[in-house]
Structure 1
Amino acid sequence: MTDHPRPPAYALVPPPAERAPAPTLDADQQSVVDHRGGPLLVLAGPGTGKTTTLVETVVDRIERHGLRPEQVLVLTFSRKAAEELRHRVSARLDRTVSTPLATTFHSFCYGLVREFQDPKSYSEPLQLLSASESDSRIRELVVGGLDDRTIAWPARLGPALRTRGFAVELERLMTRTRALGLDPVDLAAAGAAAGRTDWGAAAEFFEEYLDVLDAQNLIDYAELVHRAGIVAADPEHQPTLRDRFRFVIVDEYQDTDPAQVAMLRALAGDGRDLVVVGDPDQSIYAFRGADVSGILGFSHTFRTTTGAPAPVVSLRRTRRFGPRILAASRAVAQRIPLGRLAVEARGFRDPEPSRPVGGDEVWVRRFADPAAEAEHIALMLRRAHLEEGIGWDDMAVLVRAGTAMPRLQRALQAAGVPVEVAGAEVPLRTEPAVAALLGALRLSVTLSEGADLDPEAVERYLTGPLGDLDAAELRILCQELRRRDAWDDDGERRLPRSSRELLVELVRMPLTVAPLVDGAHRGRAGDVAARAYAAAVLLADAARLVAAQASPEQVLWTIWRGTRWQGRLLAAIEGARGDTNAGGAVAGPAGGAVADRSREAVADRSGRPDGAVADPSAETGGAAGAVGAEPLDLADTEAAAAAHRDLDAVVALFALAARAEESQRRQKVAAFLDEVAHHEVPTDTLAERGQRGSAVRLLTAHRAKGLEWDLVVVAGVQEGTWPDARHRGSLLAAERLAPGDVHATSDPVDAAAPARLGLPATTAELVAEERRLFYVAVTRARSRLVVTAVASLDPDGDQPSAFVADVERHASSASTAPERRPRRGMSLRGVIAELRELAEYGATPAVRDAAARRLGTLAAAPVPAAAPAHPDTWWGLREVTRSEHPVRALDQPVQLSGSSLDAISSCSLSWFLTHEAKGETVSSTAQGFGLLVHALAADVVRGGTAADPAALDAALDVVWERLAYAAPWVAQREREEARSAIGRFAQWHADQEQAARRRPLAAEHGFEVRLRVADDDVILRGSMDRVEVDVDGFVHVVDFKTGKYAPTGSDIAEHAQLGVYQLAIEHGVADGLLGEPGEVVASSGGAELVQLRVQDSARRPTAPKVQPQDPPREDAPFFAYALLEDAVRTVRSEQWIATPSPKACQFCQFARVCPAKPEGSSVLDAVAPTTLGTEEQAS
């Protein structure tokens, strides 16, 4: 046998890392490092070097005192903080560390519970529920218990029990119970003592909830910490754990709750080696169960081996900011109570700045209104970036609550400031892309169940990114649907259903719109109908999957891949590559990187055997759900930024669907929708995993904890908002569950065994919590702190908070009066706009010439963002364009109706916008009113209804409810108008019969006649309300009108619609009504308008106003021919002229875009004062 050489083996070997040099510690830091044995409390304010102190303490214990790395346990509260500590300790150690030195509380607890759980109990690892998953489980159990009547909930809770809100309340109460170290039996006892039967029922439910989670091998966060504490305190395991962890460090100790304190006592109590670091002034998570008394009472809770209180060391030198920011922050913090903290331990509040005077700034700015505040903040940030060179990612804007963020985000983006919003700040369900997908998913569930569809949801679907119809296209679709619905299967005219009803029918039965999309229907209406049909078919496909019990992920994927939306998003991002920022820098190739990663993450789903979607935190750097999360140098356009955001959100939604599939097995789509409806991105999952690109951070003060920037704007510091001292009661009063006998022991943890109903928080306590939060916000700045507020000129308007005055006393710059909106932003767009204004309206020729030269310089620059400086891009210098597709095909006759001729004659521009562009907003109820009255008038002629007011009124009642008026009072008013109208019709009909001069021949008589006009073919189409013949054999046409206003007498003589009817009669459209076709030739005896809503006179209020038009004369040309010639020329030339007149303008809806009106003037007026091309006006 021949020996073959073995192939070379390869291994990935990290490059040798250089050991980080030891920092220089001050005396306070060194005293912490030198501390030997026993508990120690380190009080450290912002920027005092606590992280450096912790790192050096760990390094000292390992390198100088013989501890192995695995014997050191460092606990903190965020993944980012844990990662930073691990990295910095590893960089300082001269050895390889095989175990993670730092971890989060929950990660440590999970490992502890997993390690000591019975290996025979479960075949799969213990799964940790997210908050939203826990809420879903709670609601399922509550609703199931109601059906089984296993728990006797108080009757007062009955209406709330099936709601999601009650599940959230119940989860808070159970979490509070575990945070206090209590069991369900303790909650029941507290409820009995306080007379709260709801607590007793909740305790019974708590027991059932824990049993269910145990059976399914699940656990929530609160239970995880509680059970970790039980394991740590177990005499069988405690010696092992204490021997394993010889030295314990806890960072951010002010954020602990009693359950976490209890676990620490089990691990490192009885005088063992424990160092905790924190700042009571930064305790801001009371709403999550954190208890500031934990750090204030640490010295008494954790005593030395001799029984003495634990010593306290204060770090008293701040390195983050200089004396001015320090003084402002101290003014905020000095009024925060410190409880029983010893006076000698309060030195942490008076640190010395290490930076010199003048090295930092504090600005206070007041603004006249929120818009001015947002725009000035954007201007301030741009100026700092462009003039001072501060990086975008070295700046942040902080707010009290997330509700203030959308307004600021829009203002920053509009000013060209790249902005990033952390995913946890924006609930996933509120992302526009996710909302669109969830809306489609919800419609598919409704379709599968055969339930009634929500018309508004259908409209949102069709006009959203999945349906992709704009508002004008939706109007076109609705008009086509109503036009077709106005005729029944027998060809009889009827009242069409409302647009909403027809859209719902379209989604439920897509084939109803099929005739609109076949080959016989061309033009825009057919294209719109085709897209609506495709969207409806897509929902039908999704509904079939839902009915077949497909997973939420499968249904979502069907919806996502069934449209062109993904392609549009990717195209928007691809189009942004190579664009430039508003400051002139050319973008690099990274503009579409996230699109590629997001596309792969979603597209990968179809190729995975299990159908799972890639973890968004792995694919996109942990920023799924973030706004503008790609490295968006200002090169990316607004459209590209929105596309990045949408793709990230879609990836996050698919990841959530995949997780639901894995953790809950075959979850139904309806249940998934319910879960997502209340889903919040977990704070530590997508939060600070790394910022994606250079962008200003926009986030809440809570999220800013632990972060810092050179420039920080604390915005919206308003009275009533910050502090928000409202008393927030809750249904189950979880916040009032308190430890029981507080005098039984000096140890607050031991005292937490029994429970009681505590007092609600006082206003002073709420303000103190808000002051801590404001203190955290103002201490995030390294070099410049800006505090802004609205100071309304209205005494009852928004006013600055009292917190602003605390900062203002130490400000280096402050507003003397509220500032109004800036004239222009500091962006290239703003510069170009101002130069264009100066070039045209500058005070002197020299100024105008200088502005024009600068515009020329910008226009010649190879920077796409400077393109608006070039005259070729100025609308006022462009020629009016013509559409590539004529309004009427040149090889086809011009089709007109009487109403179209009337409209073109009055104002051709208005006709085009209404009839062709479908831009008019017509009330379906107004149309329905007229159709109802016309239908009744026609039914009288056909003999279906007697011409009696009572009979007509009764017939009207049968169908009146189909008109969906906006309010009952409107419906009642219009009903009275309709009663009067049919009453006048009955009176007119009776007068006609009594006169016995004419008899009716037909009602709703449709016609079509072809004419030759001005060397062009014209087809006149329409429907005559009523056709009559007089005793002399002449035919008369009656047109019923239900408008509120009648034309003048002079207008009737050349009324275009009546003229068309008479022309049609003269061309034989009524011949067949008088006898056999060809036997009798009808001649027009005139036409008339019968105004059913206008009384004849004060003496005859119950009779309608009748306005007759004379028949054609043999000795003079009939006026209608001239009108037809003009209309044909207008349609063929496509010159839509704005023709002002009282008749045309009184009720016109297009005044704001009409070039003949001051409010409709535009830059095109210099080219064509009253004429607009089709394409321009349609757009």
Structure 2
Amino acid sequence: MNLSRLNTRQREAVLHGEGPLLILAGAGSGKTSTMAYRIAHLISVRKFPARAILGLSFTNKAAAELKERVTGLVTQTCGQDALKELTVSTFHSLCVKILRAYGHKLGFQNNFTIMDASDQRDVLKQVFKNVRIDDRKFDLDRILFQIGQAKGRFLGPAHAQDYFLGSGSQLPGDYGIAAATSYEHYQGQLKAQNAMDFDDLLFNAVTLLETFKDVREHYNQRFKYVLVDEYQDTNPAQFKLLRLLTEQQQNLCVVGDDDQSIYAWRGADPTHILEFAHQFKDARTITLDQNYRSTTTILDAANSVISNNKHRHPKKLWSERGEGEPIQEMVLADDREEARYVAEEIFRLAKEQKRRWSDFAVLYRSNTQSRVFEESLRLLRVPYKIVGGYSFLERKEVKNTLAYWRLASNPDDDASLRRVLNWPARGFGKTTLEALGNEAFSSGKSLYETLKRAGEVVPRAAGAAAQFVALVESARLELAALENNGGSGSEALVRWAQQWVEKFSIKKGIEEDCEEPAQVARKWENVEELLHALGQVRAKDVAIEETGAADFGAHLLREFLARMVLDAQDSEDREKDAEAERDQVTLLTLHGAKGLEYPVVFLVGAEDGLLPHQRTLDEKSDLGEERRLCYVGITRARDHLLLTRAKNRIRYGKPVPRYRSRFLAEIPESMILARDESGGVEPIFDKKARDDHEQKVKNYLAEIRARIGSKN
């Protein structure tokens, strides 16, 4: 087999013989190629049968890519037949195969059902009924998530009490008690139905291998070599599975990067990759540190940042691509100016350098940051797509908050009423909603009008219906009473909205939807961002005088809601066109960016409070994972990296000062060309380069303005 395309370290990894091997694969170092060549070498050169090799990954896409590369390498020399019975799959797919074959030893038939999320909720709801827990008081998905986390830690019902009731699960007391009480009964219900949920697949496969020596020996004898991708993302149950599968041969090859371990919140344990040499006797470590993606400047910046993490394998990425362009840091007045700058810079670079829109990515720490960038890109008609999250207006908590505001503006909006009548839960069951809907249809009245006389239709719902109607009517009266006391005109409306976000119990609705407190915080940030957007509406932009001062608040709210609808429609049309072209700017979170790369990357919101996140700072938590997120963001860039931040972020109409991310301070100043919106430099590194850049910007501003003008 020709290994000339590989570098020295990659060849060492491919040619490694017996025993455990850790391949520390830095960002962009060719880890997939190395894994593919190693598997192909085992089959083509060392003549191991394909059925003796097991390749594991975390996603079907990654597994398919690895298998495709192996197929291309092996068929060149040995033909397609040499790949018969090669197993390259996800952890969970492997576990299904094991359980189909031997699950009867645990009391399952081989036709067991794998429950989806809806099935799980139904089972847990029945369990709550059986143990006399009121399911209306709990978010079932939140409890199911923590039961899944317990299984990922290989904690069965008998050993999970401390986890649920302690700080590990981060569940409040009543949720912890409910989870601890229901876990055993939930598992009993699944067993009785010959069913498993997603997390059971791993848990039960490990239990099977651990309990039955004959099964364990069977798989040890079959799989002589086991290879694992993204090892830094394994949880305790996956680690246990690997130990059991390699008990005899110890031919375990794991590939990963501790510097890209960013999923601790999902149960991943980075100590697995950090302590591999201690956990597997005579383990060898090979570091792939040659990067084939980025310029030297970008890599030096990434190395400088990540070197500040204490617990890591030492490695320093390098490249033969050359120094490249300096990293740019742009300091803007506020978040809207930041978004405007990014959109205009993307537009300019696309024209000047003849780049495709798909060459650009905008990376942010939190989904809530995307809205202003979407608006600015839409203004310039730049096609974009949201990856790893929903468009801002498509997020449930945003849609539902808008639905409440629409009801205050127009209570006969049936779609909005259906969306929020039972969010948060108010006891309106499916049967009740169907009865009310049928009556509304037959009487020709709106659902809201029917709700007012719910006692005639569904007597048991009379109390809950009356409370909801009173809530909406109160919101409408207060909205109608708003007056314009000068200023932008939106301050009074924002105050009204803030009060009614609380009175409508929107945060409770979010809590019912979430699996963990961190998710609640992220979704609540989106509601706050929506309030911020409401504060951007100006009385001078709408024809208030046509309705009179008494209707000021309602009119301003209707204007805002109309803009939201139009924005959403524009977004849908834009996405259809862009999808057809398949040439779009990518907007995504740092978590979603892992494994991807782009010629030009904008890492936005480079401020303390965003990166690192405010929760980490407030809780005085270890900054290690936040720093790894920053490292992931930096190493997504091939050619150009642009860092942006705001001096202030407007919240509820008031500027809140922001400060440069401490991670940027870890990058040597000589690598960064820093500027602010006035053209000032912070500090001055290269005046000529800066002046040239500013002149190019001015040259394109006229074209940009003309483009905007053509839209109007």
Q: Shared fold by TM > 0.5? A: yes
The one-letter code sitting in structure 1 at the alignment partner of 2:625 is: E
**For the residues of structure 2 that align with 1:323 and 1:194, how far apart are their CA atoms?**
43
Picking from 697, 700, 712, the partner of 2:586 is: 697
Rounded Cα–Cα distance in structure 1 between residues aligned with 2:115 and 2:678: 51
Identify the residue that residue 611 of structure 2 maps to in structure 1.
Answer: 722
In structure 1, the residue matched to 2:71 is 90
Corresponding position of 1:281: 259
Amino acid at match of 1:238: R
Query: Of residues 294, 301, 324 in structure 2, which corresponds to 1:328?
Result: 301
Cα distance change, pair 311–72 in 1 and its aligned pair in 2 (3 A): same
| CA distance in 2: counterparts of 1:189 and 1:463, whole angstroms | 42
Mapped to 2, the partners of 1:350 and 1:434 lie a distance apart of: 45
Alpha carbons of structure 1 residues 82 and 24: separation in structure 2 relative to 1, 3 Å: same
Give how far 1:645 is off.
6.0
Aligned amino acid, residue 606 of structure 2: V
User: In the aligned structure 1, how far is the partner of 2:180 from the partner of 2:112?
Assistant: 28
**1:124 to partner: Cα distance:** 4.3
Larger radius of gyration: 1
Opposite residue 114 of structure 2, the aligned amino acid is Q
Please name the residue that 1:772 is paired with: 628
Residue 432 of structure 1 contacts residue 646 of structure 1 at CA under 8 Å; is this kept in 2?
Answer: no
Code of the aligned partner of 2:644: T
1:117 aligns with 2:103: yes
Residue 510 of structure 1, CA deviation: 6.6
Following the alignment from structure 2 to structure 1, what is the Cα–Cα distance between the partners of residues 305 and 580? 30
Q: CA deviation at 1:172?
A: 4.0
Secondary structure of residue in 2 paired with 1:226: helix
Q: Which residues of 2 match residues 885-924 of structure 1 at below 5 A?
A: none
- Structure 1 residues 639-678: aligned runs within 5 Å: 639=569, 641-643=571-573
Superposition pairs of residues 234-633 of structure 1, within 5 angstroms = 234-270=212-248, 272-303=250-281, 308=282, 310-338=283-311, 346=314, 349-358=315-324, 360-422=325-387, 424-425=389-390, 430=395, 458-461=411-414
Which one-letter code corresponds to 1:414 in the other structure? L
TM-score, length basis structure 2:
0.68
Alignment of 1:676-695 (within 5 A): 693-695=582-584
| CA distance 1:429–1:136, shift in 2 (3 Å) | farther
1:526-570 deviation digits (Å, cap 9, x = unpaired): xxxxxxx7x879x99xx9xx99xxxxxxxxxxxxxxxxxxxxxxx
Q: How high is the TM-score relative to the length of structure 1? A: 0.42
The Cα shift of 1:812 comes to: 4.3
* Cα pair 2:52 2:223 within 8 Å, conserved: yes
CA contact (8 A) 1:791 1:818 kept: no
Q: For the residues of structure 1 that align with 2:675 and 2:183, how far apart are their CA atoms?
A: 55
1:576 paired residue number: none
- 1:139 is displaced (CA, Å) by 4.6
1:852 matched residue in structure 2: none
Alignment check: 8 A CA contact 1:317 1:353 kept: yes
The correspondence for 1:162, drawn from 136, 144, 157, is 136
Note the 1:66-215 alignment, pairs <5 A.
Answer: 66-94=47-75, 95-96=79-80, 97-99=83-85, 101-118=87-104, 121-122=108-109, 124-130=111-117, 134-135=120-121, 137-146=123-132, 162-165=136-139, 167-188=140-161, 202-215=179-192
Residue 808 of structure 1 deviates from its aligned partner by 6.2
2:209 to 218, 232, 244: 232
Structure 2 SS opposite 1:47: coil
The alpha-carbon deviation at position 719 of structure 1 amounts to 1.3
How far 1:173 sits from its partner (Å)? 3.3
1:813 alignment partner in structure 2: 673
| Separation of aligned partners in 2, 1:184 and 1:832 | 62
CA drift of 1:58 comes to 0.9
Deviation per CA, 1:770-797, whole angstroms, max 9, x where unpaired? 1111111111111111111112399951
SS in 2 for 1:769: helix
Q: Larger relative contact order (C-alpha < 8 A, sep ≥ 6)?
A: 2
* Whole-angstrom CA distance in 2 between matches of 1:199 and 1:86: 42
Are the equivalent residues in 1 in contact too, given 2:123–2:189 (CA < 8 A)? no
Q: Decide whether the 8 Å contact of 1:248 with 1:273 is kept in 2.
A: yes
Verify the 8 A CA contact 2:231 2:254 in the aligned structure 1.
yes
Structure 2 vs 1, CA of residues 772 and 267 (structure 1 numbering), >3 Å: closer, same or farther?
A: same
CA, structure 1 residues 164+365, in 2 after alignment: closer, same or farther (shift >3 Å)?
Answer: farther
> Once the 2 structures are TM-superposed, how far is the Cα of residue 125 of structure 1 from its aligned partner?
4.4
| Number of residues of Structure 1 aligned to a counterpart in Structure 2 | 553
Deviations 1:438-480 (A, max 9, x none): 98xx9xxxxxxxxxx97768444479999xxxxxxxxxxxxxx
Q: Distance in 1 between matches of 2:229 and 2:126?
A: 38
Distance 1:184 1:509, change over 3 A: closer
SS of residue paired to 2:200: helix
Change (3 A) 1:462 1:312: closer
Match of 2:706 among 831, 834, 856: 831
Q: Contact 1:129/1:219 (CA < 8 Å) preserved in 2?
A: no
Alignment of 1:751-790 (within 5 A): 763-765=620-622, 767-790=623-646
Question: Are the structure 2 counterparts of residues 325 and 28 from structure 1 closer, same or farther at C-alpha, using a change threshold of 3 Å?
Answer: same
Q: Distance in 1 between matches of 2:37 and 2:410?
A: 59
Question: For residues 811 and 262 of structure 1, do their structure 2 counterparts lie closer, same or farther at Cα, with a shift above 3 Å needed?
Answer: same
Could you give the per-residue CA deviations for residues 1122-1179 of structure 1, whole angstroms, max 9, x where no partner exists?
Answer: xxxxxxxxxxxxxxxxxxxxxxxxxxxxxxxxxxxxxxxxxxxxxxxxxxxxxxxxxx
Q: Distance in 2 between matches of 1:642 and 1:134?
A: 33
1:191, 1:197 within 8 Å by CA — same for their partners in 2?
no
Q: Distance in 1 between matches of 2:392 and 2:229?
A: 28
- SS of the equivalent of 1:702 reads helix
Which secondary structure does the structure 1 equivalent of 2:615 belong to? coil
Q: What residue identity is the alignment partner of 1:351? A: L
1:107 partner amino acid: S
Query: What SS does structure 1 have at the residue aligned with 2:213?
Result: coil
Asked if the contact 1:72–1:246 (Cα under 8 Å) also holds between the matched residues in 2, the reply is yes
Per-residue deviation at 1:357?
Answer: 2.3
The structural deviation recorded for 1:83 is 2.1
Percent identity of equivalent pairs: 27
Gaps of 5+ in 2: 420-435, 459-566, 681-693
Asked if residue 792 in structure 1 is aligned to residue 648 in structure 2, the reply is yes
2:72 corresponds to which letter in structure 1? A
Does the CA-based 8 Å contact 2:277-2:284 persist in structure 1?
yes
Distance 1:37 1:710 in 2: 39
CA 1:43–1:201 in structure 2 vs 1: closer, same or farther (change >3 Å)? same
Does structure 1 conserve the Cα–Cα contact (< 8 Å) formed by 2:389 and 2:588? no
Note closer, same or farther for the CA distance 1:826–1:318 as it changes in structure 2 (3 Å cut).
same
SS at match of 1:318: coil
**CA distance in structure 2 between the partners assigned to 1:275 and 1:180 by the alignment:** 22
- Residue by residue, what CA displacement relative to the aligned partner does 1:328-379 show, whole Å, maximum 9, x if unpaired? 101110111226x5xxxx2xx2132121223x44211111011110011111
State the 1:319 CA deviation. 1.3
| Alpha carbons of structure 1 residues 190 and 644: separation in structure 2 relative to 1, 3 Å | closer
| Structure 1 unaligned residues grouped into runs of 5+ | 1-19, 148-157, 443-452, 467-504, 514-532, 548-636, 649-689, 730-761, 835-865, 869-873, 875-1179
Q: Evaluate the alpha carbon distance shift between residue 30 and residue 372 of structure 1 in structure 2; reply closer, same or farther with a 3 A threshold.
A: same
**1:116 maps to amino acid:** Y
- Contact 2:380–2:707, Cα closer than 8 Å, also in 1: no
8 Å CA contact 1:126–1:219 kept in 2: the answer is yes
